[in-house]
Chains A and B, each alone.
Chain A
């Protein structure tokens, strides 16, 4: 399995995804200051507290990484299993299910890691500067920070569920744009659920369970499918 994952890394340009994640992180740092300043200037009450600012940044990062993940699935899975590349992939004496699992494990691992890491700089940098020279007229509490960390954890898992469902739809339609658009639409739905369930651990856990279950179903179903696929 690890060997197959290494081969996937070798044949795909992982540097592009790493650079995209770094750019996204920098964008999130800029974005958090942008929201804080704009809310002050425009006197927007919704974003004059840390909870909403952090939550909004978390949701935006979920959208960014869902799309990044959907792009990765398009390259790693959809393009390989729907076009001529399938002919090459199926010519090897390797268990087809393991190959697919290696691809998905790589995307899931990368997305989870990149999403969780990319949320740290905006959170830490903004918290430090706020403790020195605050923009927002609110108090940072350890409870709030813990709640944000929990939400980011849930969002990191949720991103994978969203992109797996999007990938399955893209696989069915044999379309990369369909994958990306589906990921974006699902983000809108999940984002609203996360916003309305912020601070409610039970609701967050239910969301986590539902999305993880949907992702698992997609993985199992797709593994069965590739094993019986033919190249006509």
Chain B
């Protein structure tokens, strides 16, 4: 598989108790792009992301992250990525900065400016407040800060805007764009909110029933579908396009 991709999967399969959940999923994410992973609930977005982050082992097929096999190079991959999978989990009795400090220690990346990371997501004034007292939006923002504080090459974010208000969504969108354009990061971002993906993604991958149906550059899609991503998504889901 090619090194020009930050993520590349080939015929990836995952079964649970004999039931095939991911069915030959093939996807490619070039470096320095924001990849919007779109799909209805239960399509398999989170399962694919878990395989990319080493939380699940593929049953068949291959997956490479940053040129490394997800099965044989799990720790090397984890050192170079930041992720939010499902709901971000924290040490509830610790403050935001203590949680980030713990994270950096586990990542072997001590000494990074925690205050700067917290202010990048608007949490600079949380002080010693334990995470257990945080609202859902604050937890989500802290999850994002944790995912990017150790300066990963790739961010894998499962529904990262869940629980965020409109202002926060806009701030996070600006942050993600900045990370890709000015810091060379690649972002894989899942969502079932089509409009959000349309505003931020360079490439869209549509997953349904455990397989990526289509991958398309948003700029190309817009020339064919002036109505936007929503029309395109519905068209793909209703079988208007063949599998890529």
How many Å from the CB of B126 to the closest CB on chain A? 18
| Interchain CB contact under 8 A, A11 and B79 | no
Decide if B78 is an interface residue (CB 8 Å cutoff).
yes
How many Å from the CB of A124 to the closest CB on chain B? 36
Decide if B164 is an interface residue (CB 8 Å cutoff).
no
Q: Mark B34-50, 1 if CB is under 8 A from A, else 0.
A: 00000000000000001
Chain A residues positioned under 8 Å from B83 (CB to CB): 91
Q: Which residue of B lies closest to A6 (CB)?
A: B105
Q: Which of B55, B91, B93 contacts A231 (CB 8 A)?
A: B55
| Interchain CB contact under 8 A, B56 and A232 | yes
Asked, given contacts A84-B87, A84-B89, A231-B50, whether A94 binds B106 with beta carbons under 8 Å apart, the answer is: yes
| Interchain CB contact under 8 A, A92 and B86 | no
Decide if B228 is an interface residue (CB 8 Å cutoff).
no
Instruction: Tell me the residues in window 82-122 of chain A with beta carbons closer than 8 Å to chain B beta carbons.
Output: 84-85, 87-88, 90-95
In whole angstroms, how far apart are the Cα atoms of A92 and B94 in the complex? 18
| Interchain CB contact under 8 A, B56 and A93 | no
In whole angstroms, how far apart are the Cα atoms of A7 and B75 in the complex? 18
In whole angstroms, how far apart are the Cα atoms of A10 and B110 in the complex? 15
Decide if A230 is an interface residue (CB 8 Å cutoff).
yes
Chain A interface (Cβ < 8 Å from any Cβ of B)? 3, 7, 10-11, 13, 84-85, 87-88, 90-95, 230-232
| Interchain CB contact under 8 A, A88 and B50 | no
| Interchain CB contact under 8 A, A90 and B102 | no
| Interchain CB contact under 8 A, A93 and B50 | no
Asked, given contacts A7-B106, A231-B50, whether A93 binds B93 with beta carbons under 8 Å apart, the answer is: no
| Interchain CB contact under 8 A, A92 and B78 | yes
| Interchain CB contact under 8 A, B55 and A88 | no
How many Å from the CB of B78 to the closest CB on chain A? 4
| Interchain CB contact under 8 A, A90 and B54 | yes
Chain A residues positioned under 8 Å from B56 (CB to CB): 230-232
Q: Which of A11, A13, A87 contacts B89 (CB 8 A)?
A: A87
How many Å from the CB of A127 to the closest CB on chain B? 41
Given contacts A11-B91, A87-B86, A88-B89, 5 further A-B contacts (CB under 8 A): A84-B89, A87-B89, A93-B79, A230-B57, A232-B56
Q: Which of A11, A13, A93 contacts B102 (CB 8 A)?
A: A11
| Interchain CB contact under 8 A, A13 and B93 | yes
Instruction: Tell me the residues in window 66-106 of chain B with beta carbons closer than 8 Å to chain A beta carbons.
Output: 74-79, 83, 85-87, 89-91, 93-94, 102, 105-106
In whole angstroms, how far apart are the Cα atoms of A34 and B16 in the complex? 58
How many Å from the CB of A102 to the closest CB on chain B? 12
| Interchain CB contact under 8 A, B75 and A95 | yes
